[in-house]
């Protein structure tokens, strides 16, 4: 009795869609806590003096137990244009470039113990 193992490829494809509706950054700060535009402020208890220019970036990666913003985007990426200032609400996200779409196509190897005829 001979068991034949065949390697086959499985394919996946589709679209990842993200729709931006609203963001609130009332202090006009970056994720690091610094002010947008390298502006300084006399006291960290007051908001930054200049608003941010807000855009979004989507990066599709393989699973990570510790998520990082660095590294390659294995399954694709896209960015929006600047959508507004530090805080914004998009009344019509489709018309305001608030819908980000990343098409993806990927494959992975699977093994099968059933012979194909």
Q: Where are the domains of the chain?
A: 14-104
Question: Please, what is the average pLDDT of the chain?
Answer: 81
Q: Is the pLDDT of residue 44 over 80?
A: no
Which of 43, 11, 39, 17 minimizes the C-alpha distance to 110?
Answer: 11
Round to whole Å and give the CA distance between 47 and 38: 13
d(CA 115, CA 40): 68
Which of residues 112 and 61 earns the better pLDDT score?
A: 61
- 113 or 60, greater pLDDT: 60
Output the pLDDT for position 66: 87
- The class level of CATH for 14-104 reads mainly beta
Q: Which residues, in sequence order, are CB contacts of 3 under 8 Å at separation 6+?
A: 113
Residue 40 has pLDDT above 50, yes or no: yes
Q: What is the DSSP letter of 34?
A: P
Under 8 Å between Cβ of 73 and 60: yes
pLDDT of residue 3: 45
């Amino acid at each position: 009795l001979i068991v034949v193992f065949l390697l086959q490829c499985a394919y996946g494809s589709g679209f990842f869609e993200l729709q931006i509706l609203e963001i609130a950054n009332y202090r006009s700060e970056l994720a690091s806590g610094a002010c947008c535009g390298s502006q300084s402020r006399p006291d960290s208890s007051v908001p930054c003096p200049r608003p941010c220019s807000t855009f979004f970036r989507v990066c599709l990666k393989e699973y990570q137990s510790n998520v990082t913003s660095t590294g390659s985007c294995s399954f694709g990426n896209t960015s929006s244009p600047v959508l507004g200032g530090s805080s914004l609400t998009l009344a019509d996200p489709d018309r305001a470039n608030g819908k980000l779409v990343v098409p993806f196509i990927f494959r992975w190897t699977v093994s099968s113990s059933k012979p194909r005829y």
